Structure 1
Amino acid sequence: MSIDAAPRAHTLLSPRLEHSAWLGWVEADPYPELVAVSHGTDSPSGRAAILSLVNEVARALDGIRVHGAFVDVQEPRVETLLASSTLGTEHRAAIIPLLLSAGTHASKDLTAAAALRAGTTVAAPLGPDASIAALMHRRLTEAGWMPGEAVIMACAGTTDPQGTKDCRYMAQLLAGSLQVPVTVAYISAEEPRLEDALAYARTHNPGRRTVVASYLLAPGYFARLAGLSAPDVLSAPLLAPTQSPPRELVDIVISRYHQSTRR
């Protein structure tokens, strides 16, 4: 399933002309095309949520072509898109990972895909970031969190050491926003597992509600598992299919694009 951006965002900026006393009028390099790469999901609501983010980025970057691609589950796969004529044979690309932390996909898979097209860059993941902490704070409040309640932050999990370091740093940012202790737990791959962190909290803090902040981008497999752990309070993922994409996430994607292309 392709999630290319809205048609109006698929029009390239008009070529810019620069004057030189020696070379005359020459055409400048076009802006790189933005390839927003998410993991991919079989969840219809998760797909809709990611699509809404890609489309909102395309609207904000009017004049720059924006494409959606995936590393798994959905089509087009990022390597297929980069090797195809969809981007134009002469066009550079800027890969923006719609991923919250470092991991195999961000550090290896996307780097390998970028090698298929000359001049392609790979930006940093979306997190950790202070603006995401503010968004998670809002999601917790929407879910019924009360100031003063300790929080468990649920990450998807990764075997990449940098990815776990990113999750711990994100927990520090969230703790600073909430002004309460935040414990990191993982849904898969890493310890402590979410269910174990919840069991510990219930045993050592009887009578207190268990609160979980979802450090997940969109509804899908990991969000379902977080729900099955049955905390007293569980915040929604950062993207919700029934809401406009949070401005914080749109701004991060745009910032990563400008950083990647040095514009």
Structure 2
Amino acid sequence: MAPALGPDELLVDLLARRAVDAGFVRGHHQVVLGAAGSTDAGAVADCRAVAYRLAERLGTPVAAAYLSAAQPRVAAAVGDLCSRDPRRPVLVLSYLLAPGYFQSLLVSEAAAAGAEATTIPLLGQTGGVPEELVDLVLRRFRDTVDACSIPGTTARRPIASPC
């Protein structure tokens, strides 16, 4: 089994590009990174790590927020930013893999809370599959295969029999 896709600089690259494509202007927009959420504390920490790296890249704070199982919720994060500085619009960056239920929920919750816009998911419909995502999946695959070339291991932990 390969490790999770994130956190990774390639995802930060893709999210930063999506922000710019959506019209992000440093010093003008407030930003929320909208993720599905998890009860796994490590997964939530990984989302916060991506938000931190994205904030460094964009030159503005990025609040990590979730649709379920973790706090803060997307609607609360957007509402909080809108209340703090109503003159600065909120852009929600989708940290979801593909279109579907969670993306629809992200768009509706963000809009209801006052967000100006929500970006497409990582595998969004415009322009095909992003190069950053292809590179990351291939890297995870190669790393997993390389780790499995050592008898009795996987990419994450020892196993009873070889790959």
Query: TM-score over 0.5 for the alignment?
Result: yes
Mapped to 1, the partners of 2:76 and 2:31 lie a distance apart of: 14
* Larger RCO (CA within 8 A; separation ≥ 6): 2
Q: Percent identity?
A: 40
Structure 1: distance between partners of 2:77 and 2:65: 6
1:218 to 98, 110, 118: 98
> For 1:162-196, what per-residue CA distance to the aligned partner results, in whole angstroms no more than 9, with x for missing partners?
11111111111111211111111101111110111
- Gaps (5+ residues) in structure 1? 1-121
1:143 pairs with 2:22: yes
CA RMSD of the aligned region, Å?
1.3
SS at match of 2:99: coil
TM-score by length of 2: 0.82
Instruction: Indicate whether 1:172 and 2:52 are aligned.
Output: yes
Which residue identity lines up with residue 179 of structure 1 in the other structure? G
Deviation at 1:243, TM superposition (A): 2.2
- Structure 2 Cα separation of the partners of residues 193 and 240 of structure 1: 22
Residue 242 of structure 1 deviates from its aligned partner by 4.1
Aligned partners of 1:161, 1:125: CA distance in 2, in Å? 14
Task: Tell me which structure has the larger Cα radius of gyration.
Answer: 1
1:180-220 deviations in Å (ceiling 9; x for gaps): 11111101111110111111111111221011111111111
Contact 1:144 1:233 (C-alpha < 8 Å) held by counterparts: no
SS in 1 for 2:42: helix
Query: Which of 39, 53, 57 is residue 159 of structure 1 equivalent to?
Result: 39
Q: Please give the TM-score of this superposition, normalised by the length of structure 1.
A: 0.52
More strand by share: 1
Q: Find the aligned partners of 1:252 and 1:170 in 2 and give their Cα distance.
A: 15
State how far apart, in whole Å, the 1-side matches of 2:128 and 2:119 are: 17
For 1:243, which of 102, 115, 127 is the aligned residue?
Answer: 127
Q: Where in structure 2 are the equivalents of 1:1-263 lying within 5 Å? A: 122-148=1-27, 149-229=29-109, 230=111, 231-262=115-146
